Chain A
Amino acid sequence: MFEHTLRAGALALVMTASAAGVVALGSVPASAAAPAAAGPTVKIDNFVFGPAALTVTPGTTVTWINQDDIPHTIVAGDKSFKSKVLDTDERFSFTFTRPGEYDYFCSLHPHMTGKVIVKAA
């Protein structure tokens, strides 16, 4: 992780990202039971992730909320994160520490896809 961040460039960001990374390590995988994070949310509405693509800085906690009457999941294409089944109004949070593009989908309804882009501000 550290090496990866270094390649991203700015020294100040290395400090921020690695500090956040340390914090995040303790809470990864963030559980659905955790209180709503202050970070950005992705809403699941009508079998669609909104926004479909979300850009965040390293260390950001993203929370997904299922607003459908049907259960959904959030599963990373590279399996780096995976939620339990979310029934109506249930949430899942994950803290992104490493820059990169994270494609994810709903393993029950695989036509539902989304992406989180993690990059330095």
Chain B
Amino acid sequence: MDDHHNAGEDRRGFLKCMAWAGTGALWTVSGGLASSISLDQAAARPMVAKSFSFVQLSDSHVGFAKPANPDAAATYREAVAKVIAMPVKPDFIIHTGDITQLSRDQEFDDADQIVKAAGLAVFHVPGEHDMLDEGAGKAYLDRYGKGSKGAGWYSFDHHGVHFVALVNVVNLKPGGMGSLGPEQLAWLEKDLAGRSSSTPIVVFAHMPLWTVYADWGWGTDDAAQALTHLKRFGSVTVLNGHIHQITRKVEGNVAFHTARSTAFPQPVGGQGPSPGPLKVPTEQLHSMLGITTASFVRGTEPIALIDATLAA
């Protein structure tokens, strides 16, 4: 993907690239993933070695069977088929929540079976639809919460990129939007402390971490505090779902992006009576559902995000 880019690499780019290589080594020393690349390896193949891609799936709502999409499991299966068909195999999948419609065991089972076909690791965060069991999230945490903190937040590193999974769908306040809460914010601050500002950061959570449309609750009340901790980093990518459509915003070094759902579209904020499922003519549905591919190329600008519909 980036061969031609390497060929045209100038000195400045090379220095940037060496900076990456240097930080890569640092992570190895500080006990990063075993697969992290060492300085020696990076120097030998400076640009190609650590480029990778991953896929974002969102709002699969397995179990949903209303007029807006009579079979959300089927369209989720189509989305996963698109991942399987990718010419370059992504390293893993991030699912930004609302895996299921009603948090039922059968729905979680079905969703797991469907995504398993991709043969890739899947990193989850819960949507509000995944916390509806009697235990208020126990079903989700039993399945996906191993090694996570609180309501399911965690972080991990992959080839020098730091990934932070946040939960903003619990303990919501009347009249408010999404919420991270003081405990998670304190954890985030600690999690980021001591990391070099040149570390690329990917944050993912279900509800948007910026206010897309407050009247419909499309935002996170205390997101500004999270962003304070992220400000010093040179490249921050924020991936969200929840609103079933693509929106983008860039603020300083932070690029915000919401993904399409694989289940059903929702109206643009404020355009329509409610944020409920949008019924479109059957032949249009696939063009309004989709997946997002994130490509990380060393030495270039922020992570490239490419959205593809299920129609293509």
* A interface with B by C-beta (< 8 Å): 46-48, 68-71, 77, 84-85, 87-88, 103-105, 107-111, 113
Contacts and interface: CB of A to CB of B under 8 A. Distances in A.
Contact of B274 (A48, A87, A104, A107): A48
19 contacts: A48-B274, A68-B274, A69-B66, A69-B68, A69-B276, A70-B277, A71-B102, A84-B134, A85-B132, A104-B174, A105-B175, A108-B132, A109-B217, A110-B172, A111-B175, A111-B177, A111-B215, A111-B217, A113-B175
Contacts of A113: 174-175
Contacts of A110: 172-177, 217
A21 to B, nearest CB: 26
A47 B174 contact: no
A88 B101 contact: no
Contacts of B214: 111
B234 interface: no
6 smallest A-B Cβ distances: which pairs? A46-B274, A111-B217, A105-B174, A47-B274, A110-B172, A69-B66
Nearest to A112: B217
A70 B276 contact: yes
B174 A71 contact: no
B172 A107 contact: yes
Residues of B contacting A: mostly: loop
A104 B173 CA distance: 10
Contacts of A111: 175-177, 214-217
A15 B253 CA distance: 67
A112 B102 CA distance: 19
Given A110-B173, A110-B177, A113-B174, 9 more contacts: A48-B274, A68-B276, A69-B277, A71-B101, A85-B132, A110-B172, A110-B175, A110-B217, A111-B216
B275 interface: yes
Contacts of A46: 273-274, 276
B67 interface: yes
Interface in B79-117: 101-103
Contact of A47 (B101, B134, B172, B216): B216
Interface of B: 66-68, 101-103, 128-129, 132, 134, 172-177, 214-217, 273-277
A83 B279 CA distance: 28
A48 B273 CA distance: 9
Nearest to B277: A69
A88 B66 contact: yes
Interface centre among B132, B134, B174, B215, by most A CB within 10 Å? Answer: B174
A104 B174 CA distance: 7
B128 A108 contact: yes
A99 B67 CA distance: 42
Nearest to B131: A108
Contacts of A88: 66
Contacts of A77: 174
Contacts of B217: 109-111
Nearest to B176: A110
Contacts of B172: 107-108, 110
B67 A69 contact: yes
A77 to B, nearest CB: 5
A85 B102 contact: yes
A88 B67 CA distance: 12
B299 to A, nearest CB: 43
B146 to A, nearest CB: 25
A53 B172 CA distance: 21
A84 B133 CA distance: 9
A33 B153 CA distance: 35
A63 B136 CA distance: 23
B193 to A, nearest CB: 31
Contacts of A103: 174
